[in-house]
Amino acid sequence: MTEKRLWWKHGIIYQIYPRSFQDTNGDGIGDLAGVIQHLDYIQDLGVDAIWLSPINPSPDVDFGYDVADYHTIDPKFGNLQDFERLTQEAHKRNLHIIMDLVLSHSSDQHRWFQEAQKSVDNPYHNWYIWRDPAPDGGVPNNWMAMFGGSAWEYVEHLNKYYYHMFTKGQPDLNWHNPEVRSTMLDVFRYWLDKGVDGFRLDVFNNYFQDQQFRDNPPEAGFSLRKLVRKFEAQKHIYDTNQPEMIEVVEDIRSIMDCYPERYVVGETFLASSAQARTFIGPNRLHAGFDYGFCNAPFSAQAYGQAIQYWDALHGKDAWPNYFFNNHDTPRSTSRFARGDSDAIPKLLLTMQLTVRGTPYLYYGEEIGIRDISLPRSLIQDPVGKQYWPFNKGRDGCRSPMQWSARENAGFTSGEPWLPVNKDYRVRNVEAQAASPASLLAFYKELIAIRRAHPALNAGALELISTDDDDLLIYQRQEGDEKILVVLNFSRQITTCQLPIENFNKWELLYAGNEAITSQMTENDLNLPAYGFAILISRSE
């Protein structure tokens, strides 16, 4: 490889939702000791980094995304020593640690907010966003909360409203206040000094709001979705994506660059891909999240377009990310897989691991966990509580990791905070580790192939047009290594005419771990339903 191998760029990032990974003390909630216990497992997968969803103290109105103290660890997960041990043990295994920083808002239980609401003269008052009531006593403007209702919450003894983009337990911090800004930038240094390798910034493009607090204009057109969720009936031009953010991402990057090989990735929210791209670059964030790929319908053409668009948008001085799963989205197995078959998950992973960009995996996808479905009484997520039954929230994709066929899938000896998927006796790590034909074995093989081939983890990508709408074909190239990827999105067996010259110089590198019907005769490749082939040519 011409360029030095960078863990966050050429490697793979594995997201853990700590509450659901491994409980070690029987309280039904996963903890840091549980993550430490499985570091060998994670290393063995072949990934390079772990992104931990938030582990700072939190009253869990939004399960960690409401932080009550930025400088320590929530006791339900452990303590600072546990975190330091986790970081050291991870580093011993060449695993990097990415923390989730939730700096757009804090918890209303944070000491700063507790102070802020005491009086307008309190030194912390201006750490949050306060406005007088409208002349009629109502809310200051039409901004809505993503998680339901107005974004303004009235505090009677102050006769003022405070602003919250999410629940009222998540008041937005006032980033226009220089004290807030410098305190927040110190949070980066604090964790970097503790050996953290990177950060994922929660909804960072919401740090600033319009200073004139202008009303958002309506989004044209009627839909049931907009009726149920008024937040979606507005164009979010004044409550997000303000120009001030560019300077802050530059400040963040200059802090990161004081430490070797660190990484910061931002979750953009309510931004177009093009807007999201403006925050990324050599002096800005290393990378961003875009839902274009994750949300694309299951079709060769839709993925082809998403890849081409995202690849071109990033160009040479930025690097894309690709994910299908995280803690906010129904699992791709539940969206796309048919019954218990792993054929579609394998096809999707092959695409994700062979396009140009960093793949993000989400705990449990390597064994094909499906979403759980809960009755209303068991819903935990504020989104599900608010919008049931139109939107049942995000609990479905947060169910406990399925380690073994033992009770509660080996996740806890107590009562799990969310039910374990009922299929755990069949679908679990222990069973799949023992089977060379398992999805887990497939993940490991493909990850190893990606790691071994610079064309796959670093090379340029070129989409290759085909007459068959169900096929997605692209070539990756780095130096003299060329790799061709052919993916069949149909449930029919397909014969593909390979777009290659010097056919004899190509060989089949990988086509999965099942008996495949893939046969190459002359330039023809036969692919099974949802089958794929990775071909390699080194000699040109």
Catalytic residues: 202, 267
Cβ–Cβ contacts within 10 Å for residue 466, how many? 17
- Tell me: does residue 424 bind ligand GLC (CB under 6 A): no
Which of 23, 31, 48, 62 is the binder for ligand GLC (CB under 6 A)?
62
Q: Does residue 202 touch ligand GLC according to CB under 6 A?
A: yes
Cis peptide bond upstream of 389, omega within 30:
yes
Site for ligand GLC in 164-193 (CB under 6 A): 166
Number of residues that bind ligand GLC (CB under 6 A): 10
Task: Identify the CA nearest to 373 among candidates 402, 345, 393.
Answer: 393
Among candidate residues 487, 494, 471, 477, the one with its CA nearest the CA of residue 536: 477
Contact (CB, 8 A) for 168 and 108 = yes
74 binds, among Ca ion, ligand GLC, none (CB under 5 to 8 A by kind): none
For ligand GLC, give the closer residue by CB, 59 or 195: 59
* Neighbouring C-beta atoms of residue 160, cutoff 10 Å: 19
77 binds, among Ca ion, ligand GLC, none (CB under 5 to 8 A by kind): none
Nearest to 61 by CA among 22, 120, 12, 109: 109
Q: Which is nearer to ligand GLC, 102 or 249 (by Cβ)?
A: 102
Q: How far is the CB of 86 from Ca ion (least distance, A)?
A: 14
Residue 328 near which of ligand GLC, Ca ion, none (CB within 5-8 Å, type-dependent): ligand GLC
Query: Does residue 65 bind ligand GLC (CB under 6 A)?
Result: yes
Is 328 a binding residue for ligand GLC by CB under 6 A? The answer is yes
Rank residues 30 and 357 by Cβ distance to Ca ion and give the closer one: 30
**Residue 366: which of ligand GLC, Ca ion, none does it interact with, CB under 5 to 8 A by kind?**
none
CB atoms within 10 A of CB 287: 26
Strand 160-163 relative to strand 49-52: parallel, antiparallel, unpaired? unpaired
Does the protein bind ligand GLC through residue 203 (CB under 6 A)?
Answer: yes
Question: Residue 48 touches which of ligand GLC, Ca ion, none (CB < 5 to 8 A by kind)?
Answer: none
Does residue 360 bind ligand GLC (CB under 6 A)?
Answer: no
The verdict on 511 binding ligand GLC (CB under 6 A) reads no
Q: Which is nearer to ligand GLC, 338 or 390 (CB)?
A: 390
Instruction: Fill in the amino acid letter for 212.
Output: Q
Q: Which of 52, 67, 99, 102 binds ligand GLC (CB under 6 A)?
A: 102
Task: Find which of ligand GLC, Ca ion, none residue 31 binds, CB within 5 to 8 Å per kind.
Answer: Ca ion
Query: Residues interacting with Ca ion, by CB under 5 A?
Result: 23, 25, 27, 29, 31
For residues 452 and 437, give the distance between their C-alpha atoms in angstroms, rounded to a whole number.
21
Are 38 and 89 in contact, with CB atoms under 8 Å apart? no
Shortest distance, CB of residue 334 to ligand GLC, whole angstroms?
18
Rank residues 321 and 457 by Cβ distance to ligand GLC and give the closer one: 321
Supply the minimum distance, in Å, between the C-beta of residue 212 and ligand GLC: 25
Residue 65 binding partner per list Ca ion, ligand GLC, none, with a CB distance cut-off of 5 to 8 Å that depends on partner kind: ligand GLC
Q: Which element (helix H / strand E) includes 162?
A: strand 160-163
232 touching ligand GLC, by CB under 6 A: no
Q: Could you say whether residue 60 binds ligand GLC (CB under 6 A)?
A: no
Q: Please give the Cα distance from 375 to 247 (Å, whole number).
A: 45
The interface with ligand GLC within residues 245-284 (CB under 6 A) comprises 267, 269
Taking alpha carbons only, the member of 37, 31, 88, 39 closest to residue 55 is: 31
The minimum distance between CB 204 and ligand GLC, in angstroms, equals 10
Residue 199 binds ligand GLC, judged by CB under 6 A: no
Residue 196: exposed, middle, or buried by beta-carbon count in 10 A (0-12, 13-18, 19+)?
Answer: buried
User: Is residue 51 within 8 Å of residue 98, measured between CB atoms?
Assistant: yes
**Dihedral Cα 400, 404, 410, 416, nearest 10 deg:** 30
| Token pair listed for 105 | 């808002």
Tokens of 362: 């989400």
Distant-in-sequence, close-in-space partners of 58: CB < 8 Å, separation ≥ 6: 64, 65, 66, 67, 68, 74, 107
Contacts to ligand GLC by CB under 6 A: 62, 65, 102, 166, 202-203, 267, 269, 327-328
